[in-house]
Amino acid sequence: MESLILHDIINENLIKLSLDGSTREEVVSELTDLLYKNGVICSKADFIEEVKKRESLCTTAIGMGIAIPHGKCGSVIKPAVAFGRSSSGISWDSMDGNPVHMVFLLAVPESGAGNQHLQLLAMLSRKLMHDDFRKGLMAAKDKIQLLSMLHSIFKGG
């Protein structure tokens, strides 16, 4: 993951502190818009279709209020993560039956991506196991504070 520049994976423009959507589909669309506006993907429709396809295989809501949907396809220009937070929660067929409050939408290019999405998933999963870290993400007052916490994931810290 060191070959990827941290700012390119996630930055202020890829964070939404308060999601508008209340369904899985609305939230994926909302975060996909951020990816599109920031030059991460070239086709919203293709990317959303890939995320839906992946979601139909198995829910990406891993429990603890977290969902990590992801798409690996040709419309992804560069790897990135869009993050969204919902205080009210989103119904997502979560493994623990609870609503999702934090969504990490991973975008990975189809060609030359190798196992980047697996590396991103592993790094996220490791850090998100910690209750204090999850609480910190929910409590972050602004994008800068939240971004600092998220960057610690990709630094391995």
Beta carbons of 10 and 40 less than 8 angstroms apart: no
**Cα separation of 35 and 17, whole Å?**
15
117 part of the active site: no
Beta carbons of 74 and 38 less than 8 angstroms apart: no
Both structure tokens of 89? 């929660």
Of 98, 69, 65, 99, give the one whose Cα is nearest residue 82. Answer: 69
**Cα separation of 12 and 7, whole Å?**
9
Both structure tokens of 91? 């119904």
**DSSP 3-state of 148:** helix
Active-site choice (70, 101, 117, 151): 70
- Point out the residues that are catalytic: 70
